[in-house]
Amino acid sequence: DGGARPVEMAIAPVPWGAGVIFGAFLRDISERRRSDEVRARLLEKVLTAQEEERCRIARDLHDGIGQSLTTLLVGLSAMGQAPDLDAARGWAEELGRVASGAMDDVRRISRGLRPSVLDDLGLVAALERCARDFERAHRVAVEFRAGGAGSCRLPRAVETTLYRIVQEAMTNVGKHARAGAVRVEVAWAAACVVATVEDDGVGFDREAVSGAGGSGSGLGLSGMEERAGLLGGSIAIESRPGGGTVVRARIPFEDRGHGEGDCDSARGAGPEDAGRGPA
């Protein structure tokens, strides 16, 4: 059609009668080029998101823990000059509260940084904890369900990606939805895992949010899409003003390298549950 196309060329000797000729093979690689470009764009966005996360952590450290440590220092100095033991005890009590607040901060920050609960307990337990934390923090009932072959371990990247996506979806529910009830569900079959976060809150107009060119909205929704996209998965969002929101993440995975038939045999009491019997 007169347009230019990227091609890959291979030249190989081909026996021809008593001699040899050289054959050239051309392959159209525009499709591969395009997916390389998409990948590069996604990676760049992920790096930007990482940079923003660092800024957030720096802020948390400075404003939260930094403040607590300053308060502790000032308090300790006052305690050293307390006129009597009772006054000193009063200070000790007060400073104990500050220290335990700082410990909560550290726990919160480190949990956000590295979901070690994933390594320890796996995706289902980690998500359930996420749901319970949300319930406590926002005083909203969260229904949690895990279905399908829920006892086999997924590839690490799939677990982390789903965990982060659900975390962001829940953060959005807490920040924007004003929901009365939330449902979190994770279910997987042999080659695909689906996580759903549903709320009955105020909902939003997806077009208006993405149409804003990102200026008004955060990186949350696009970050979810990028995370899923990097693993060949996708995010579907159903929402309309007044009608609540459903965020569904679908990630494909290969269960090769996870023990033969792991996912299928996990449908009953999986290998990891063998000693404990069905849950």
Ligand X SMILES: Nc1ncnc2c1ncn2[C@@H]1O[C@H](COP(=O)(O)OP(=O)(O)O)[C@@H](O)[C@H]1O
List 218, 230, 231, 248, residue binding ligand X (CB under 6 A):
218
Contacts with Mg ion: how many residues (CB under 5 A)?
3
Q: Please give the angle made by the CA atoms of 175, 178 and 181, to the nearest 5 degrees.
A: 115
- Under 8 Å between Cβ of 164 and 189: no
Q: How far is the CB of 123 from ligand X (least distance, A)?
A: 21
Residue 103, phi then psi, degrees to nearest 5: -65, -40
198 binds, among Mg ion, ligand X, none (CB under 5 to 8 A by kind): none
Nearer to ligand X, 185 or 273 (CB): 185
Residue 264, amino acid = D
Residue 191, phi then psi, degrees to nearest 5: -130, 15
CA-CA distance, 227 to 9, in Å (whole number)? Answer: 34
Per-residue binding letters, 168-207, with ligand X (x by CB under 6 A): ----xx-xxx---------------------x-xxxx---
Q: Is 239 in the site for Mg ion (CB under 5 A)?
A: no
Residue 49, amino acid = A
Q: Is 174 in the site for Mg ion (CB under 5 A)?
A: no
203 binds, among Mg ion, ligand X, none (CB under 5 to 8 A by kind): ligand X
Locus of tokens 């100095």:
77
Sign of torsion, CA 216 220 221 226? positive
Nearer to Mg ion, 68 or 172 (CB): 172
Tokens of 223: 């970050």
Q: How far is the CB of 231 from ligand X (least distance, A)?
A: 20
- Binding site residues, ligand X, CB under 6 A: 172-173, 175-177, 199, 201-204, 209, 217-218, 220-221, 245
